[in-house]
Amino acid sequence: MASLSAAISHSSSHVALAHNTKPKKIRQSQCRTLPLPHRSPICRLGFVSQGGSKEASNTRVFTSVKDVLLDESAEKVQLPKGDTWSVHKFGGTCVGSAERMKSVGNIILNDDSERKLVVVSAMSKVTDMMYDLINRAQSRDESYISALDAVLEKHRSTALDLLDGDDLGSFLSQLHHDVNNLKAMLRAIYIAGHATESFTDFVVGHGELWSAQMLSAVVRKNGIDCKWMDTREVLIVNPTSADQVDPDYLESEKRLENWYSKNPSQIIIATGFIASTPQNIPTTLKRDGSDFSAAIMGALCRAGQVTIWTDVDGVYSADPRKVNEAVILRTLSYQEAWEMSYFGANVLHPRTIIPVMRYNIPIIIRNIFNLSAPGTKICHPLVSDKEENQTVESLVKGFATIDNLALVNVEGTGMAGVPGTAHAIFGAVKDVGANVIMISQASSEHSVCFAVPEKEVKAVAEALKSRFRQALDAGRLSQVAIIPNCSILAAVGQKMASTPGVSATLFSALAKANINVRAIAQGCSEFNITVVVKREDCIKALKAVHSRFYLSRTTIAVGIIGPGLIGSTLLEQLKDQAAVLKEEFNIDLRVMGITGSRTMLLSESGIDLSSWKELQKEKGEAADLQKFVQHVHGNHFIPNTVLVDCTADSAIASHYYDWLRKGIHVITPNKKANSGPLDQYLKLRALQRQSYTHYFYEATVGAGLPIISTLRGLLETGDKILQIEGIFSGTLSYIFNNFMGKVAFSEVVTKAKQAGFTEPDPRDDLSGADVRRKVIILARESGLKLELSDIPEKSLVPEPLRASASAEEFMQKLPQFDQEMSKKLQDAEDAGEVLRYVGVVDVVKQKGVVELRRYKKDHPFAQLSGSDNIIAFTTTRYQKQPLIVRGPGAGAQVTAGGIFSDILRLASYLGAPS
């Protein structure tokens, strides 16, 4: 015990010797009567004020009583207040090396403000190093000595690079003096095995003292008068129970005026982070203390503005590590900045904003490494309103998230109407010291839900179950449920909650991204809407809402299945339009995967469509549909996924239901799903109606023609479909448009095949199976519950040739049956008519028909040319004169165009401007 007391006494003596402050500027008339620099009195053991003096003596000496009287009567310089002051704060990264300190010096000198007050942090990593010294000493780890030597060397080497002459010698002398004092104090801590809070605060504050002294010397090297301030002489704070401090503005203002009267200067370099208690005991401003220091100093001198220098260009609309398209916000109101920082955005700590709000002092956040960037201005909302139009988009300024949370839901009918229920719940939570981040409560108190950090939820649950044990046993309380693995997403904006449609837009964006919201909180402050989602959905949700509010592009992950003729044509169209869609329509279509039946190509960021075929050969892997879908849909950085099935494969179509159920949108020209078993079709449509997942298939009937959308438009506006009649096959349209005169039917089919209008086996077209599928799709869209088997097959393939071994054999034998088709043609011509292969949906009779019909030469169906399709809608409104849709109904270009149109329609539904 004796040795411990001796060590502490020894340490204290060293601390007492360290009480020195900066020399007061002495008027020439005083030089003879004050042989030693002025020193402020030492108020209490442990308050150490560092100065740059090289004098060995630290004791105030007067040669006579006359000296004292002269000193006390010295003329005081009054502190000027107002916007002539600009306050700058530089963090540890900004002063992390000699080179960076020089850059900071240049910024200070280039500021044309009349007066400048600069608040600096410790050099990068130094505060952590100082805390580490305490921890090592407390743990009786002697390596604290070598760790302190590393701190000494870091500052010594920086000073050698920065300073010279008397400034260098003075600083190094003070540095070694401080380090010797720290060694003595750390030795006492080592022996005691414990460090008090004031001892700890005293030790860690040295980093700021040293950086402020060096920076002031850097400015003086340019011939500019500059003083450095130990803010422990000025800032007085009262500790609170929440490990924070409350500034004493009145006392701090008095001390600042007193300090300035003795140290008048147009440039002051002040220490950040550190302060003193009213008893003059060293303390710190806790978390983000340097920013807080700058805001307090700005308020004390009523500065024109406070600039916080950091390593980012400003405040982002969302975390740029999660949302690549996050943008820098030009302005934020104080309240918006407050809300965003509460929810984890890298803005400012909420308490930093309080001092400047009082005097409407704007805060500018700027990047020291990008001086051309204007940064973000945090100011009074009226200024913000003038600078930005108050649209729905600008009202939602940004989004922030908090991860690693759990929801606690206390529920029971016995809670309803019972006074004090909420008080009892949160009293129990308070008793275990948990931090409640969000609360959502039903008005009846039947259910109270709140979010706490996941590491605290176990203690909270146990406390609640203990507190309400009787109510749980009696059934008045049904459960205390824990929902782990949650995240909070907050939308922040000035007055957004009072603007109609903002909440609807937010929740619509989440629903369309297939995000389930577990809890909601919206206060009457009008500055934020908070939702709780699954942790794994957090980034996806953030991307979705950020995109929806036009802060970034509407990004969709695209998977192409079937890169054949239609699929490859679609990829070419996507490549050609990609730049236009991004620049003009804010749509970013990322093809994340392309798969055929044998090979697939996957990408993490999007395939280069100008060379996808080459990439498929070089980097392609064995096709695996499950892996393909998981890859395209599993990218959490893209909120929306669409699979485009360009095949005619019924096996692929059988997956649509599962994809839609997982929140994957589906677009396809594949007719197999909608013309397959009726029950499967009805399941698909029911799922589509009850979710925000989209299933588009315009190209299944008319390639690029708007047939499905026209039919839906008629039905949705209350019209009644009577009949749909049309030429749905581009191949059969071409054949019968050219089957005239003396030309044989087989000859026309041969020309159509050579021109690429038919399938490789023309029987697939001549069988009418394609038309039957289109008719059944339209019949079902019209409300008829028909199976494909309900439509009689009327094939144009002669019966004997239906079993031909190959397409070549069929084509060789087809001329043998020309006579039958020639007779049908002649009969039609004799009657002044033409032959057309049509499909008909008779809604009145509830049936579908596919057959070869004859039409008068003045009928619209007789006016076709080439491979055009034509569809006539006879409805209650269009009964006398049917609504006609006509145009190219076949070919890779128009079919791919129809698919592309569906993709853009999906983008519009997901938030892209139309």
What gap in Å lies between CA 500 and CA 6, rounded to an integer?
Answer: 72
Among residues 116, 613, 774, 845, the one annotated as catalytic is 774
In the chain, the amino acid numbered 100 is R
What gap in Å lies between CA 172 and CA 52, rounded to an integer?
Answer: 9
Q: How is residue 539 written in tokens? A: 């980034």
Greatest alpha-carbon span in the chain:
139
Q: How far is CA 887 from CA 113, 391, 768, 871, in A?
A: 70, 41, 20, 9
Please name which of 92, 100, 89 lies closest in space to residue 126, comparing C-alpha atoms. Answer: 92
Give bridge partners of residue 609 from the DSSP assignment.
none
Please name which of 251, 254, 293 lies closest in space to residue 270, comparing C-alpha atoms. Answer: 293
What gap in Å lies between CA 321 and CA 345, rounded to an integer?
Answer: 12
Cβ burial of 559 (10 Å; 0-12, 13-18, 19+) is buried
Cβ burial of 501 (10 Å; 0-12, 13-18, 19+) is exposed
DSSP tally for the chain: helices H, then strands E = 34, 30
What gap in Å lies between CA 714 and CA 711, rounded to an integer?
Answer: 5
In the chain, the amino acid numbered 896 is A
The answer to whether residue 774 is catalytic is yes
Helix (H, G, I), strand (E, B) or coil at 331: strand
The number of C-alpha atoms within 13 Å of 625 and in the hemisphere containing its C-beta is 15
Write the DSSP symbol of residue 488. Answer: E
| CB-based contact 483:435 (threshold 8 Å) | no
Helix (H, G, I), strand (E, B) or coil at 766: helix
CA dihedral angle for residue 557, residue 562, residue 565, residue 566, rounded to 10 degrees:
-50
In the chain, the amino acid numbered 83 is D
Looking only at the bridges linking them, the beta strands covering 282-284 and 274-276 are: antiparallel
Helix (H, G, I), strand (E, B) or coil at 643: strand
What is the H or E stretch that residue 405 is in? strand 398-411
What gap in Å lies between CA 851 and CA 391, rounded to an integer?
Answer: 57
Rg (CA), the chain: 39
Give bridge partners of residue 696 from the DSSP assignment.
667
Give bridge partners of residue 480 from the DSSP assignment.
410
| CB-based contact 157:150 (threshold 8 Å) | no
| CB-based contact 693:664 (threshold 8 Å) | yes
Write the DSSP symbol of residue 468. Answer: T
Q: Which residues contact 110 (CB under 8 A, 6 or more apart)?
A: none
Strand order in the sheet with 665-667: 621-622, 599-602, 587-595, 554-561, 640-645, 665-667, 695-696
Please name which of 648, 562, 559, 560 lies closest in space to residue 597, comparing C-alpha atoms. Answer: 562
Helices (H), 412-488: 421-431, 457-467, 469-474
Helices (H), 193-333: 197-204, 206-220, 249-262, 289-300
Q: Which residues are catalytic?
A: 774
